[in-house]
Amino acid sequence: MTLPMRYAARQVVARLRQNFLTVVCVGLVVAVFGYLLSISDGLRKALRLTADSALVIVLAEPATAESNSAISHEDAQKLAAVPGVALGRAGQPCVSCEYVVQADVHRPGGSRASAIVRGVDPSVALQVRPAVKVINGRWFNPGSDELVVGRTAAVQFLEGRAGKKLLCGDRLFEVVGVIDSGGGVHESEFWGYAPNIKQAYRRTMYSSATLRLENSDADHVAAVCERIGSACVALRGVHSPAYYESQGRGAVMIERLNMGLVLLMGLGAVFAAANMMHATVASRTRELGVLRAIGFSPRQVLVAVILESLLLSLIGGAVGAVLCGLWLTILHPSKDLVSSATFSSLAFRVSYSLKCAGWSLAIAAIIGLAGGIWPARSAGRLSITSALRSN
């Protein structure tokens, strides 16, 4: 079986120029696929990184997200008494009651988006989410109209730049620092001091509360959620991983679009690849006849042609993957998507992962195989005598 591999590889080198256009076509299909997959993966990754199995998010019972939830101050106080909640450094329960509201922001291109503004009390919020820290500038001063901005929002929205002002409710808040939460969706938010946000938006109720539990056992989580439901009938506790899983609709939509596009564009590319291989088989019928005559089996000829198609397609795929990776890395490091439930934008970082590259190459390989199989069969079936006689 030494023939197929080396023969195919040399054919590829010899014929790359002739098949250049088809190879580029495969590359384009793979590039579109990689681009969309990176976006849906980026969103999923941000949601996954935010999920913390020791956290429970408390929402109003009918609410679908923090931003459309409302919790009365009375109920919020009862949450502090729920057993099973971890205690903070000062011995107070780790229950962070927060206001989750929205503010209009602009993308660098000028289009409008709606960003989440979270009103927190840093003394509790940071014990509930210890990963959050300031990486640039400083924390907002409690009591003043200042904000810190997540590092992704700082890139994605014009108002996130240091020193900029953001209209929150009735008042202008100044951005004084950038926070990092180790990836995740808090990096696409603005955080301010809870009482100031409350006044600016004239809110009478909290939006949601986040609880840090003593441990993250499934049983313990379920028990705490049940206690929340019985202590406050109007509320429900959602385990943080489940909550962020439910916020991933945007990713599902992109994945569907991507699937449809890749199937159809891939089909078009398969036809193109089949065309290319038909032509190369036709143009060297005599050569294939010679190979058969000197003893190579029909099977070996068939494999050689398929391998050639596979290699050409993989070259196209690799070029597409590299270009897409470069494009994403250099030009579009972050994106944002709007949740259709809350109308607020979720910004996240996009990176071209190894998984993306792997899938891209797999798709190129499938295109090559599917396109090569039919021409290869006709190459394997050539009768030696007529093949040798052809020119």
Partner 1 sequence: MIRLEFIWRNLWRNKTRTALTIASFATFMFLLTSLHAIVSSISEVGQRAQKELRLVVHHKSTMTKLLPLSQVPKIAALPGVRAVCPVRWFGGRIVDSTEQFPSLAADVDAMPVIYSDFELSPEEVGQWRSMRSAAVVGFELARRMHWARGQRVSLRSTIPPYAELEFQVVAITSAPAYPNLFGFRLDYLIEALKQFKNVPAELRDAAHFIWVKAESPSALNSIGPEIDSLFVNSLNPTVTEPEEAFITQFTMMFGNIPAILRGIGLILVLSIALVAGSTLSISLRGRLGELSVLRAIGFSWRKMFAALCAESMLIGLMGAVGGGVLLALCPRTMLLASAGVPYLPPMELSWGLLGWAMLVGMLLGLCAAILPVLRVTRVPVTQTLRALEA
Write out the residues near partner 1 by the rule CB under 8 A: 18-22, 24-25, 28-29, 31-32, 60-64, 68-70, 72, 101-104, 109, 111-114, 167-170, 201, 204-205, 249, 253, 261, 264-265, 267-269, 271-272, 274-276, 278-279, 282-283, 335-338, 340-341, 343, 345
Residue 317: CB atoms within 10 Å: 28
- Of 2 and 111, nearer to partner 1 (C-beta) is 111
Task: Scan for tokens 């329960």, then name that residue.
Answer: 93
**In the bound complex, what is the minimum distance in angstroms from residue 3's beta carbon to partner 1?**
25
Min dist. Cβ of residue 179 to partner 1 (A)? 22
* Cβ contact 236:15 at 8 Å: no
265 or 382: CB nearest partner 1: 265
Secondary structure of residue 140 in the 3-state scheme: coil
Is-contact 123 113, C-beta < 8 A?
no
Quick one: 52 or 159, whose CB is closer to partner 1?
159
Q: What is the DSSP string of 289-348?
A: HHHHHTT--HHHHHHHHHHHHHHHHHHHHHHHHHHHHHHHHHH-SEEEEE-TTT--EEEE
70 vs 134, beta carbon nearer partner 1: 70
| Minimum CB–partner distance for residue 92 and partner 1 (Å) | 27
**Which residue number, 222 or 253, has a Cβ lying nearer to partner 1?**
253
- List phi, psi (to 5°) of 286: -65, -40
Rounded distance between C-alpha atoms, residue 290 and residue 283, angstroms:
14
User: Of 62 and 358, which has the nearer Cβ to partner 1?
Assistant: 62
Residue environment code for 223-233, b if the CB has 16+ CB neighbours within 10 A, otherwise e? ebbebbeeebe
Q: Which is nearer to partner 1, 215 or 390 (CB)?
A: 390
How far is it, in rounded angstroms, from Cα 208 to Cα 303? 62
CB of 380 to partner 1, least distance (A): 16
Nearer to partner 1, 105 or 213 (CB): 105
The three-state DSSP-derived secondary structure of 219-266 is HHHHHHHHHHHHHCCCEEEEEHHHHHHHCCHHHHHHHHHHHHHHHHHH
Single out the residue of 29, 24, 6 nearest to residue 268, CA to CA: 29
Residue 284 CB, nearest distance to partner 1 (Å)? 12
Least spacing, CB of residue 258 vs partner 1, in Å = 11
Rounded to whole angstroms, the Cα distance separating 60 from 56 reads 13
To partner 1, the closest distance from the beta carbon of 260 in angstroms equals 9
For the bound state, the minimum distance from the C-beta of residue 115 to partner 1, rounded and expressed in Å, comes to: 9
Buried residues in 237-256 as b, exposed as e (16+ CB within 10 A):
bbbbbebbeebbebbeebbe
